[in-house]
């Protein structure tokens, strides 16, 4: 027998890219809306007045008159093994990696350690309303097994991969071109497109992979369908100089990946702060995406992402928290910092565009828009309920908001995990705030 439920709340979701149709045409907002879910899939969305009369008598109706119902957030770049080393003081990228990150990632050789962190990481995502993410493991195969096992248990749509890293890192964290290839292959065979899971080939970044390893990564991409590529690009100026020295034949940073056939419709490059026109052009031409990670870029002093340039070149962009370089799991906080980055670049980040980047835009960057990212009929019912009265300040500020744009903007600037009342996965509550 099928399971039918309907939520009555204010409902907002994006239906198109605001860059293409204009902000006003990019979303649907129902102040008194109804979301109808059958067996975990969205069956209908619209004004409650229109849809209530169409419900089958056996539909369970959930009334949430004070809540705002949104699609789950999509985090296009995050490191689960860095959950516990978030907020580590005082360094920029390369020293931060050596002093904090690598010693922490060493611990993931122990699968039970990895399992514990994976569980807590997924709980933290759900607590923040994030329902899909593109996730770094460590170099250890068991780290990815632990992650996928936890994600599968909770029926989450998640993407993860084993880090490839065969040089310029501590011995204890290195693989080889052969073992990296073989272990990735075993993980792909076991997990790629198993239920809601997907595999990402994950070279850490150009400096820590030899040309042989990058070549084998490109080979894997050819050998299987719909694999992702997940790596870092042009984050820190010292890193960029190092890449030029290590790969003197490359035209620019992105060209290192391009020469190894790693640009594709499912390639996601974190950061992309210091890019030249040709790099934007190649990203656009190949359908690759950039993960914009503002809290990380500010925290590590990496620089200000140029969202406007990415937009002009029609490069797909999603939002990334980049925990633990990033300082918050909250997509609201991440959007708030994104707004400030665009301000420092001399622009505004339109609230609807911001909301798009954190939901449908992220799904499009990951080529998952047929499944997640908005609340269109036929998609998977991963959604969140926002408590507009989560804090006294939010309550007061939202009470004077006179448009949905203003509501979204105030949430971007003021909300965090306290505003997530509940998170639903395939129509089932996966997190409920106490
Ligand atoms: N570049 C290479 N590795 C990392 C990492 O773990 N975090 C960030 N932010 N950048 C990287
Ligand atoms: Zn990262």
CA distance 172 to 294: 31
Token representation of residue 98: 């050596």
pLDDT at res. 317: 98
Q: How close is the Cα of 224 to the center of ligand 2, in Å?
A: 25
Percent above pLDDT 70 for the chain: 100
CA distance 168 to 355: 38
Check pLDDT > 80 for residue 209.
yes
Looking only at the bridges linking them, the beta strands covering 228-233 and 267-271 are parallel
Pocket flag, ligand 1, residue 302 (CB < 6 Å):
no
Pocket flag, ligand 1, residue 375 (CB < 6 Å):
no
For 276-335, the pLDDT digits (tens) are 999 999 999 999 999 999 999 999 999 999 999 999 999 999 999 999 999 999 999 999
CA distance 341 to 346: 9
For residue 49, with 0-12 CB atoms within 10 Å meaning exposed, 13-18 middle and 19 or more buried, which class applies? exposed
Element spanning 136, H or E: strand 130-136
CA distance 284 to 258: 13
Q: How close is the Cα of 297 to the center of ligand 2, in Å?
A: 10
Helix (H, G, I), strand (E, B) or coil at 342: helix
Averaged pLDDT, 106-126: 98
- A 10 A CB-CB count for 256 gives 25
Among residues 268, 273, 308, 275, the alpha carbon closest in space to that of 294 is found at 273
Token representation of residue 322: 């980049």
pLDDT at res. 426: 98
Pocket flag, ligand 1, residue 77 (CB < 6 Å):
no
Q: Which residues surround ligand 2, an ion (CB under 5 A)?
A: 270, 322
For 157-193, the pLDDT digits (tens) are 999 999 999 999 999 999 999 999 999 999 999 999 9
Q: How close is the Cα of 232 to the center of ligand 1, in Å?
A: 7
- Report whether CATH 2.30.40.10 matches the domain 4-71+373-432: yes
Percent above pLDDT 90 for the chain: 99
* pLDDT classification of 252: cutoffs 50, 70, 90: very high
Counting ligands in written order, the one closest to the CA of 302 is: 1
* pLDDT classification of 1: cutoffs 50, 70, 90: confident
Counting ligands in written order, the one closest to the CA of 242 is: 1
pLDDT at res. 340: 98
Q: How close is the Cα of 404 to the center of ligand 1, in Å?
A: 36
* pLDDT classification of 104: cutoffs 50, 70, 90: very high
Decide if 273 contacts 303 (C-beta within 8 A). Answer: yes
Decide if 403 contacts 31 (C-beta within 8 A). Answer: no
CA distance 377 to 334: 28
Q: How close is the Cα of 230 to the center of ligand 2, in Å?
A: 9
Q: From the alpha carbon of 239, which atom of ligand 1 is closest?
A: 1
Strand ranges for 222-266 from DSSP E: 228-233
CA distance 246 to 207: 7
Angle at 338 between CA 241 and CA 196, to 5 degrees: 90
Q: Domain boundaries in the chain?
A: 4-71+373-432, 73-329
* pLDDT classification of 46: cutoffs 50, 70, 90: very high
pLDDT at res. 2: 86
Counting ligands in written order, the one closest to the CA of 173 is: 1
Helix (H, G, I), strand (E, B) or coil at 71: strand
Q: How close is the Cα of 231 to the center of ligand 1, in Å?
A: 9
Question: Going by C-beta distance under 8 Å and a sequence separation of 6 or more, which residues neighbour residue 294?
Answer: 305, 334, 337, 338, 340, 341
Helix (H, G, I), strand (E, B) or coil at 430: strand
Helix (H, G, I), strand (E, B) or coil at 426: coil
Q: Cα 416 from chain centroid?
A: 16
Decide if 383 contacts 359 (C-beta within 8 A). Answer: no
For 57-75, the pLDDT digits (tens) are 999 999 999 999 999 999 9
Task: Output the average pLDDT for the chain.
Answer: 98
* pLDDT classification of 196: cutoffs 50, 70, 90: very high
Ligand 1 site-directed mutation target among 82, 87, 88, 93, most atoms within 8 Å of CB: 93
Packing angle, helices 351-358 and 331-344, rounded to 10: 130
Token representation of residue 311: 């937009």
Counting ligands in written order, the one closest to the CA of 243 is: 1
Cis peptide before 103 (omega within 30 of 0): no
Task: Return the residue whose CA atom lies nearest to atom 8 of ligand 1.
Answer: 325
Task: Return the residue whose CA atom lies nearest to atom 9 of ligand 1.
Answer: 325
Q: What are phi and psi of 320, to 5 degrees?
A: -125, 140
Pocket flag, ligand 1, residue 138 (CB < 6 Å):
no
Pocket flag, ligand 1, residue 325 (CB < 6 Å):
yes
Pocket flag, ligand 1, residue 296 (CB < 6 Å):
yes
pLDDT at res. 341: 98
Pocket flag, ligand 1, residue 124 (CB < 6 Å):
no
Check pLDDT > 90 for residue 25.
yes
Averaged pLDDT, 16-34: 98
Ligand 1 site-directed mutation target among 79, 92, 161, 325, most atoms within 8 Å of CB: 325
Among residues 108, 83, 140, 150, the alpha carbon closest in space to that of 322 is found at 83
Pocket flag, ligand 1, residue 8 (CB < 6 Å):
no
Check pLDDT > 90 for residue 79.
yes
CATH superfamily of the domain spanning 73-329: Metal-dependent hydrolases (3.20.20.140)
Check pLDDT > 80 for residue 126.
yes
Element spanning 383, H or E: strand 383-387
Torsion over CA: 209, 210, 213, 214 (sign): positive
For 338-386, the pLDDT digits (tens) are 999 999 999 999 999 999 999 999 999 999 999 999 999 999 999 999 9
Pocket flag, ligand 1, residue 230 (CB < 6 Å):
no
pLDDT at res. 182: 98
Counting ligands in written order, the one closest to the CA of 165 is: 1
Q: How close is the Cα of 20 to the center of ligand 1, in Å?
A: 32
């Amino acid at each position: 027998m099928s399971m039918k439920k309907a939520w009555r709340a204010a409902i907002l979701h994006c239906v198109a890219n605001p860059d293409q149709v204009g902000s006003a045409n990019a979303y649907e907002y129902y102040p008194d809306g109804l979301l109808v879910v059958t067996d975990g899939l969205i069956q209908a969305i619209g004004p409650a007045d229109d849809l209530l009369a169409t419900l089958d008598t056996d539909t369970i109706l959930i009334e949430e008159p004070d809540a705002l119902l949104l699609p789950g957030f999509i985090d296009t770049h995050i490191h689960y093994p860095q959950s516990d080393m978030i907020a580590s003081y005082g360094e920029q990228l390369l020293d931060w990696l050596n002093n904090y990150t690598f010693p922490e990632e060493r611990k993931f050789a122990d699968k039970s350690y990895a399992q514990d962190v994976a569980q807590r990481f997924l709980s933290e995502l759900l607590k923040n309303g994030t329902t899909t993410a593109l996730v770094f493991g460590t170099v250890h195969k068991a780290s990815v097994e632990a992650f996928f096992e936890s994600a599968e248990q909770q029926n989450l749509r998640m993407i993860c991969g084993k880090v490839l890293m065969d040089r310029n890192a501590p011995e204890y964290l290195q693989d080889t071109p052969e073992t990296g290839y073989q272990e990735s292959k075993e993980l792909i065979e076991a997990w790629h497109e198993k239920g809601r899971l997907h595999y990402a080939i994950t070279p850490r970044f150009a400096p820590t992979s030899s040309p042989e390893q990058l070549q084998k990564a490109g080979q894997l991409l050819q050998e299987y369908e719909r694999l992702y590529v997940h790596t870092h690009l042009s984050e820190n100026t010292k890193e960029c100089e190092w890449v030029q020295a290590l790969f003197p034949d490359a035209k620019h940073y992105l060209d290192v990946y391009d020469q190894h056939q790693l640009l594709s419709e499912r390639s996601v490059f974190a950061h992309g702060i210091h890019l030249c026109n040709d790099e934007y052009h190649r990203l656009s031409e190949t359908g690759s995406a950039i993960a914009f990670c503002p809290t990380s870029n500010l925290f590590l002093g990496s620089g200000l992402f140029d969202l406007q340039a990415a937009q002009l070149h029609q490069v797909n962009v999603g939002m990334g928290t980049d925990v633990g370089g990033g300082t918050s799991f909250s997509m609201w906080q991440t959007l708030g910092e994104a707004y400030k980055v665009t301000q420092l670049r001399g622009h505004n980040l339109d609230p609807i565009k911001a909301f798009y980047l954190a939901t449908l835009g992220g799904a499009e960057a990951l080529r998952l828009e047929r499944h997640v990212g908005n609340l269109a009929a036929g998609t998977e019912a991963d959604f969140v309920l926002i408590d507009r009265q989560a804090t006294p300040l939010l309550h007061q500020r939202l009470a004077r908001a006179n448009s949905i744009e203003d509501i979204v903007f105030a949430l971007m600037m003021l909300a965090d995990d306290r505003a997530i009342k509940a998170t639903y996965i395939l129509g089932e509550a996966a997190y409920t705030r106490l």
